[in-house]
Amino acid sequence: MEMSFFFKGLLVGFSIAAPVGPIGVLCIRRSLTYGKMTGFVSGLGAATADAMYGCIAGFGLSFISNFLVAQQIWFKIIGGLFLGYLGLKTFLEKPAKEAAKSTENFGVFASTFFLTITNPMTILSFLAIFAGLGLATANHYFDAVILVLGVFLGSASWWLLLASGVSLFREKFSDRILQAVNQVSGIIILAFGIIALVTGIKG
């Protein structure tokens, strides 16, 4: 076993999660609206999907990655429609008066997991990064498991850092500002959805 796979996995997971996209906007908005835990749980949904894609790349499951890439048009359309739904829902939502319940946290986890898993381009990113860092040499199952664990923890650490940092400002925002956050976030998420949908339709 090479522990270097674990630390490289941490680096990959963190770097894949860090760029701010629709998931980042959702996490920021939910951290401000519902608190750190809900924002972090949102990120965990994306981290879990990242780990699954990392597993596909780490174990060399090329038949799965080939299928995902071949069906990317449909994934973009489905993901774009779901982003559009979330964008409209976020835009119209009123500021929360209390933290989300555990059942609601399951919903926010599922939504970010679904959005991440319907982006098959992520698997291409993992394949490219793994090859560039020499992670394709993980020829033992245990090494691959350590690698995927690193990816998950690296991604999760970013979402914890983001949710914790953003939630520090939660008490300083009035309902009016939080309503504006909902509206701006909804517009941004809707824009991401339209882009994904148009890209998918154009093929």
* Type of residue numbered 97: K
Q: In this structure, are residues 28 and 95 in contact, taking their beta carbons and an 8 Å threshold?
A: no
Q: In this structure, are residues 13 and 154 in contact, taking their beta carbons and an 8 Å threshold?
A: yes
Q: Which residue has the higher pLDDT, 48 or 77?
A: 48
Whether 102 shows a pLDDT value over 70: the answer reads no
Name the one residue in this structure whose structure tokens are 């898993």: 117
* The two structure tokens encoding residue 45: 């949904």
Q: Which residue has the higher pLDDT, 187 or 60?
A: 187
State residue 41's pLDDT score.
Answer: 93
User: CA–CA distance from 57 to each of 76, 86, 111 (Å)?
Assistant: 20, 29, 23
DSSP assignment of 125-172 equals HHHHHHHHTTGGG--SHHHHHHHHHHHHHHHHHHHHHHHHHHHTTGGG
* Exposure of 109 in the CB half-sphere (CA atoms within 13 A): 14
State residue 11's pLDDT score.
Answer: 84
Q: What residues does each domain of the chain span?
A: 4-202
Q: In this structure, are residues 199 and 75 in contact, taking their beta carbons and an 8 Å threshold?
A: no
- Mean pLDDT (whole number) for 111-119: 85
Q: What is the pLDDT of residues 86-101, one digit of tens each?
A: 888 878 877 665 555 5
* The two structure tokens encoding residue 22: 């629709």
Whether 115 shows a pLDDT value over 90: the answer reads no
**Three-state SS for 111?**
helix
- Mean pLDDT (whole number) for 171-182: 75
Q: What is the mean pLDDT of the chain?
A: 78
Whether 39 shows a pLDDT value over 80: the answer reads yes
* The two structure tokens encoding residue 59: 């174990």
Cα distance between residue 103 and residue 149, in whole Å: 26
State residue 139's pLDDT score.
Answer: 57
Question: pTM here?
Answer: 0.74
